[in-house]
Amino acid sequence: MRGARRGALVVVGLGSSLGDRQRNLELAARALAATPGVELLASSAVFRTAPAGGALSPFLNAAVLLRTRRSPRGLLARCKEIEARLGRRPTRRWADRVIDLDLLVWEGLRQDTGRLRLPHPRLHERDFALVPARQVAPELVHPGLGLRLRDLPAPTVRTGCHAVGVLLPRRPVATDPALQYSSWPRPLDADSGPPPAPRRPAMKLFLDTANLDEIRQAYDWGVIDGVTTNPSLIAREGRDFVETIHQICEIVQGPVSAETVALDWEGMVREGRLLAQVSEHVVVKIPLTMDGIRATRVLADEGIDVNVTLCFQPAQALLAAKAGAAYISPFIGRLDDISTDGVELIEQIVEMYGNYPDLTTQVLAASVRHPMHVAQVAAAGADVATLPFSTLQRLVKHPLTDIGLKQFLADWAGVPDTDIAGAVERWLAARAGR
């Protein structure tokens, strides 16, 4: 990441078209300013923008200039968290929303990972994005177009945006306790309640295999979010490593962990950078050693997702999170094998991360051996469980399900018309004719 040590300059766009729009913008800007590793340097005026696309209400828009040591992925995750805390719910594109935070420009960085495109591809086209951005960072060079923001041509999408106020009347100071992330969000006015709690996404299921047939089958069932591999799993298949990873990414179109084998951090970084070029879905898997932690920091700063693997105790998980890992993989089955409670490790890590909202590392329960493990780690709050194909198959199995189904079908065989589809079609046709 450019400017990793001193921190990179980043312009974030803010928009709101629902509720107390001014307050939403101000709360979001303050939350960004209170985020560890982020310094707020400047805030724009607030601009009123006519509704565009599917939105019905006018937007208020603004921009802030930040200096940050966080990775692009880390800052994006923070923006999503702030949106959720302010009550944003998933909507269709362009619809009205409580708050919208967009990474517009990242100093010196061009990136297109699918999830994150920098600079924002439409920044220069829209007045409501460019006008506030220019105000906070006129000299910042647009890394795609090579021009300072102040020199960019007039945007083609014009919404008549015009200044109607200021974003932050009092400049926030990071030491103000009201702005500390741990105490945020809090009502600014006595009568305004806290924003609704965010809904957590359901635990994701990854498949722990490099076998393409298994992956295709499981993917067709529609419940698989990603895949993890390791050198042993790849070796077991006896196929070309890179081509296998590429094909898995093509099937899954979600996170696919591919592990490095170098032992020194420079070697890990080199392998990681190359693997990340195989597909935007590659997550670089790195073992939990001191060199691994150092390599994780470097790759995370470059916006590459890292899964830190072979974690067997909570302190290791803390280090990985501080290094910017996207995932930590505690191996629960291998702990059970040596008479230590693997699920307890997941509980400890989830609790520990929960104490520090600035840690965005996802807990990926690995070395999962049986369906009970899956239920236990979900109850413990793991973000992901990765399971072998055989365990996935066993998730649906229960003898009482089979016995119950057999009984239902036996009873059904006794009714005069057993053809449900035919009966429904006839009934629908009759209703349509009425």
Q: Which long-range contacts (CB under 8 A, 24 or more apart) does 401-410 make?
A: none
Contacts of 367 (CB under 8 A, 6+ apart): 331, 332, 333, 334, 335, 342
DSSP state of 415: S
Residue 34 CA to residue 178 CA, distance in Å, equals 9
164: three-class secondary structure by DSSP: strand
Sign of the torsion formed by the C-alpha atoms of 375, 377, 382 and 388: negative
What's the token pair of residue 206? 């990854």
Among 7, 333, 371, 381, binds ligand E4P (CB under 6 A): 333
Q: Nearest-CA neighbor of 393 among 371, 415, 424? A: 371
DSSP state of 358: T
Residue closer to ligand E4P, measured from CB, 260 or 309? 309
Contacts of 35 (CB under 8 A, 6+ apart): 70, 78, 181, 358
Of 373-392, binders to ligand E4P (CB under 6 A) are 386
Among 43, 209, 230, 360, binds ligand E4P (CB under 6 A): 230
Query: Residue 228 CB, nearest distance to ligand E4P (Å)?
Result: 4
Among 329, 361, 376, 391, binds ligand E4P (CB under 6 A): 329
322 is catalytic: no
Q: Does 334 participate in binding ligand E4P (rule CB under 6 A)?
A: yes
Q: Does 143 participate in binding ligand E4P (rule CB under 6 A)?
A: no
Query: Residue 206 CB, nearest distance to ligand E4P (Å)?
Result: 8
Q: Does 7 participate in binding ligand E4P (rule CB under 6 A)?
A: no
Residue closer to ligand E4P, measured from CB, 28 or 310? 310
Binding mask 179-218 for ligand E4P (x = CB under 6 A): -----------------------------x----------
Minimal CB distance residue for ligand E4P: 367
State the catalytic residue, choosing from 80, 204, 285, 397: 285
Of 156-175, binders to ligand E4P (CB under 6 A) are none
Q: Helices 314-322 and 342-354 sit at what angle, rounded to 10 degrees? A: 40
Residue closer to ligand E4P, measured from CB, 68 or 386? 386
Residue indicated by tokens 């635990």: 203
Of 294-323, binders to ligand E4P (CB under 6 A) are 309
**Contact status, residue 60 vs residue 47, Cβ threshold 8 Å:** yes
Residue 97 CA to residue 335 CA, distance in Å, equals 45
Residue closer to ligand E4P, measured from CB, 95 or 372? 372
Among 184, 219, 331, 353, binds ligand E4P (CB under 6 A): 331
Residue 327 CA to residue 317 CA, distance in Å, equals 9
Interacting residues with ligand E4P (CB under 6 A): 208, 228, 230, 309, 329, 331, 333-334, 366-367, 386
Catalytic residues: 285
